[in-house]
Amino acid sequence: MTSSTATSTATSKRKALEQKIRNNEPILQDVGRLGKDYQAWVHEYRVSTPVTFFESKVVNALTKCPWWTAPLVWIPIICYLTVSPGFSSLDTTVLFASGFLFWPGLEYTLHRFVFHAHTETYWANIIHFLLHGNHHVCPTDKLRLVFPPLPAAAIACILSIPPNMLLGRAAANCFMGGFMTGYLFYDLTHYSIHNLHLKATSYEDGSAYSTFVATQFLPWLQNLRMHHGRHHKEGTSGFGISNASLDVVLGTSPSTKVSPQ
């Protein structure tokens, strides 16, 4: 098979899958019905306009979340969890730092093994699409880059059970304060990767702040943007979002880097 024939065949398959998705209709039922074809579709299909999940406008609105709700909701909770235990400064620092450093490992694990799990059945496809597939289909949807607070809070409560059992409530609270800080850092970093486009030339006034932004923050963000862009391109590498270190350690770094959509 020649390269042109292979390309033509791939294009035909992609168009056939796209025809199974009804335009301007709630997408979840069609996603579920894709069955074994879902995995090929979710990594190939791209739209620039946000998709509708549910018939109900109210329920559909609950799947959207502006970026600023994350710090608005989580910073007060993080402060409460961190300062409430009454530990010494050293104990608080150790527990908080432990929780913060635990997050990147969970971020990588969830992204690689849960959000990129292979699904084929009706409900598994729908759940996968709700959790992560929708972001690959429409990476430009600004209102679905930050996880809504209510389901995030439910997951956080479940994840707090082991620390509470192992450390006790007071220490677990401080640990979870650091953990939730790591989560908030991830959420805002992911949003920034897709939407924060600053130019170093705008920060040339010589102040310490401008120097930091131009020489440290922007290069760091651009590196993560290229790293994440390759993940969107192929979906089999670049599972770290707020931190690419685990991709390096575990051999899943992208071979090349591109900017995300």
- 128-186 pLDDT, tens digit per residue, is 999 999 999 998 899 999 999 988 999 999 999 999 999 998 999 999 999 999 999 99
Domain co-membership, 131 together with 201:
no
List, in order, residues 6 or more apart from 95 with CB less than 8 Å away. Answer: 85, 87, 167, 171, 174, 175, 177, 178
Same domain, 167 and 234: no
Tell me the pTM. Answer: 0.87
Q: Is residue 118 pLDDT above 70, yes or no?
A: yes
Residues 184 and 207 in one domain: no
Number of neighbours of residue 95 by Cβ within 10 angstroms:
25
Given 161, 196, 231, the domain boundary residue is: 196
- Evaluate if residue 38 carries a pLDDT over 50: yes
Q: Please tell me whether residues 17 and 115 are part of one structural domain.
A: yes
Q: How many domains does the chain have?
A: 2
Report residue 47's pLDDT band, with 50, 70 and 90 as the boundaries: confident
Contact between 164 and 172 under an 8 Å Cβ cutoff? The reply is yes
Predicted confidence (pLDDT) per residue in 214-239, tens digit:
888 888 889 999 999 999 988 889 99
Cβ 202 vs Cβ 234: under 8 Å: no
Q: What share of the chain is helix, strand, coil (3-state, %, to 5)?
A: 65, 0, 35
Same domain, 139 and 237: no
Q: In the predicted model, is pLDDT for residue 250 greater than 60?
A: yes
Question: What confidence category does residue 247 fall into, taking pLDDT thresholds of 50, 70 and 90?
Answer: very high
Question: Can you tell me whether residue 168 is helix, strand or coil?
Answer: coil
Q: How far is it, in rounded angstroms, from Cα 242 to Cα 53?
A: 27
**Residue carrying the six token digits 């809070």:** 153
Looking at the structure, tell me whether residues 26 and 121 fall in a common domain: yes
- Give me the amino acid identity at 55: E
Indicate if 191 and 254 belong to the same structural domain.
no
Q: Point out the domain boundary residue: 141, 176, 196.
A: 196
Out of 147, 179, 196, pick the residue that ends a domain: 196
Q: With beta carbons less than 8 A apart as the criterion, state whether 221 and 193 touch.
A: yes
Comparing CA positions, the residue from 167, 147, 162, 156 lying closest to residue 241 is: 147
Tell me how far apart the terminal alpha carbons of the chain are, to the nearest angstrom: 31
pLDDT at 100 over 80: yes
pLDDT of residue 162: 95
The residue with greater pLDDT, 11 or 230, is 230
pLDDT at 23 over 70: no
Rounded mean pLDDT of the chain?
86
| Whether residue 101 sits in one domain with residue 184 | yes
Q: Specify the pLDDT at position 108.
A: 96
pLDDT-based confidence at residue 11 (cuts at 50, 70, 90):
low
**Which amino acid, one-letter code, is at 138?**
C
pLDDT of residue 69 exceeding 50, the answer is yes
* Structural domain span for residue 174: 3-196
For residues 101 and 181, state if they share a domain.
yes
Both 121 and 228 in a single domain? no
Are the C-beta atoms of 130 and 31 separated by less than 8 Å? no
Write out the H or E segment, with its range, that includes residue 123: helix 122-128
In the predicted model, what is the mean pLDDT of residues 202-224? 81
Structural contact between residues 237 and 228, judged by C-beta atoms closer than 8 angstroms:
no
Output the pLDDT for position 13.
57
- 214 and 153 together in one domain: no
pLDDT classification of 26: cutoffs 50, 70, 90: confident
Instruction: Say whether pLDDT at 6 is over 50.
Output: no
Within this chain, do residues 97 and 226 fall inside the same structural domain, yes or no? no
